[in-house]
Homo-oligomer: A and B are copies of this chain.
Amino acid sequence: MDKLHFTYEDIHRTAKDIAERVKASGFDPHMIVAIGSGGFIPARILRTFLSKPILAVGISYYDDEDRPTDLPRKVQWIEEAERKLAGKRILLVDEVDDSRTTLEYCIRELMRHEPSEIAVAVLHDKDKEKRGVIPDEVSRYFAGLRIEDRWVCYPWDADDIDAHDEAARKGV
């Protein structure tokens, strides 16, 4: 399968574009909730343009012995902050909407704390059959780009950032 490379600059521009669409939509979140660790970088860039605090949650598909698990597991959750979620407007952020499983899991967990509104923002939405669903309670869904179902190479995963940027430039 062909890989798809994005540079940090691509990611930055995509996050800026999402922020502009969030603002244009009239949605004014009280806070950004970043799904770790993939959502950390897009959330931090979104913060530049939306000027909202970030709360982080950590999700893993590996257990404590580093064995893969079918269901997501909380590495970190919000706890005391959860008490602040009631009645609040939340922008939930991740890097990619792949199978949608993580997003659905996080949305359902957040909904238990009765925020007034949840919107979702992802850099990339893969055009594929989804195993998870976005619950009806989610008012808005922002995807920076809709992409083919290919292996995405994010810059923060690059061992050699120059080789990564070169691959992105060549469109491979």
Where the two chains meet, the residues of A that have a C-beta atom closer than 8 Å to any C-beta of B are 7-9, 12-13, 16, 34, 36-37, 40-41, 43-45, 47-49, 53-56, 58, 60, 75-81, 155-159, 161-162, 165
The answer to whether B78 touches A162, judged by C-beta atoms less than 8 angstroms apart, is: no
Say how many copies of this protein the assembly contains. Answer: 2
Please measure, in the bound complex, the distance between the C-alpha atom of A37 and the C-alpha atom of B42, giving whole angstroms: 12
B36 near A54 (CB under 8 angstroms)?
A: yes
Q: When the two chains form their complex, are residues B40 and A55 in contact, meaning their CB atoms are under 8 A apart?
A: no
Chain B residue nearest to A165 (CB atoms) is B9
Decide if B56 touches A161 in the complex (CB within 8 Å).
no
Could you list 8 examples of A-B contacts with CB < 8 Å? A8-B155, A12-B156, A40-B56, A49-B159, A56-B76, A76-B78, A76-B81, A77-B80
Cα distance A9–B156 when bound, in Å?
A: 10
Residues A54 and B58 in contact in the complex (CB < 8 Å), given A9-B162, A41-B40, A78-B76:
yes
Q: Contact partner of A58 among B36, B56, B58, B155, CB < 8 A? A: B56
B53 touches A60 (CB 8 A): yes
